[in-house]
Amino acid sequence: MAAELKKKKYRVLIVVRWPVGGIRTFIRYVYNKFDPSRYSITVIAPDVPELKVLKDDLKGLDVECVPFKDGISGPALMLLVLKTLAFGRFDLVHSNGFMAGASSALPALITRTRHMMTSHDVFLSKQFRGAKGLLKKKSLSLILPMIDLIHSVSHDAEENLVEFVPALGRRKGRLVVIPNGIDTERFSRPEKRDLRKELGLGPEVFLIGFLGRFMSQKGFVVLMDALERLKKRALPRRPVVVAFGFGGFIREDKEYLVKKGLGDSVFFLPFTPDVSATLKGLDVVAMPSLWEACPLLPMEAMVAGVPLIGTDCIGLREVINGTPCAKAAAGDSEGLARAIENEMTNPSGKRTEDFREEARRRFDVSRQARALEETVSRLIEGA
């Protein structure tokens, strides 16, 4: 019997509401480490450009996609998941994110399909204010306990989940923490992108990289406030921010920095898949996040040997504690400015370089993938 189970090819239905950023990277990193001979994967995700990227990410696996129209309602997504499960013979639903998890919980229960959700975000008090917020909280308290196993990507994220949905804390063995990881090989020996040459800048410029989405959570406005403070100080080098990406509130953020008179100190470049070379072209990476679940960027920077300044916010603090990364209070532009100035005058490059081997060991996604694959196998087999 054990030999038969070992040879069986599992059919996994991956449900994703937004296949962008950390969620897409998580799926790529983890599932590419799974044994391709043992898994057949179907992905339910919105019909957006990122879906094609995700499919390309998983090209080494047996994958098919079930696209849906972007902007779909929760009930419509739930119906699509139910139909897909009803007409297929799936061993597991793996939902990614709270929206995907909530939309998959009842369909998985009805079809008696094992269900694991990976939570990629955290809850905030402001999400549950007022009558609408109270209704949302009660709905989550009913829906999330239907899920067989909830995987959190950090201890901070799991504690946050139990704080806002206490019923989950009473579910013995149905919560698991498997921290995020990265493909360390991609960042171990990166080429250096010559950003100064690309931008026509000299060696007197101190390049500060921002690689987050243009959402309030990522703290780009805080970084702009810190840059405004820095420009008023007598510094040995001129601070310049290089921001990568698009979408979100980028238009509003650009308007904000123009009002601050920072137009000549910020460059916007398109997102690049070769993050490792880009990181090496920076003097420091700034990550002024207000909250995170378990971010990959600091892991990538540390393995690449590039200094990073983060914050003490939930999720990010767990990744950078006990590392050479500097830390400012979340939302504190003055603290961030001081940390950037300190990096400019007292570079941490040597400490960061010395930490690279430990970072490789600590953040290697192979360990996460093994633990997750074992968890998936046990859940499917009912162990």
Task: Say if residues 143 and 106 touch (Cβ distance below 8 Å).
Answer: yes
Shared-domain flag, residues 202 and 344: yes
9 and 23, same domain (yes or no): yes
Do 134 and 189 have their domain in common? no
Looking at the structure, tell me whether residues 321 and 214 fall in a common domain.
yes
Same domain, 92 and 174: yes
- CB crowding 296-313: b at 16 or more within 10 Å, else e: bbbbbbbbbbbbbbbbeb
The domain in which residue 237 lies consists of 185-363
pLDDT in tens, the chain (383 residues): 444 445 678 999 999 998 777 888 899 999 999 999 999 999 999 998 888 888 888 988 999 999 999 889 999 999 999 999 999 999 999 999 999 999 999 999 999 999 999 999 999 999 999 999 999 999 999 999 999 999 999 999 999 999 999 999 887 789 999 999 999 998 887 789 999 999 999 999 999 999 988 889 999 999 999 999 999 999 999 999 999 977 778 889 889 999 999 999 999 998 776 788 999 999 999 999 999 999 999 999 999 999 999 999 999 999 999 999 999 999 999 999 999 999 999 999 999 999 999 999 999 999 999 999 999 999 998 85
Q: State whether 152 and 294 are in the same domain.
A: no
* CATH of residue 232: 3.40.50.2000
Q: How many other CB atoms are there within 10 angstroms of residue 275's CB atom? A: 22
Alpha carbon separation from 48 to 36, 65, 70, 100, 380 (Å, rounded): 25, 12, 7, 16, 30
Are 273 and 352 in a shared domain?
yes
Rounded (10°) CA dihedral 17, 23, 28, 32 = -90
176 is written with which tokens? 């698991």
Question: Are 144 and 258 in the same domain?
Answer: no
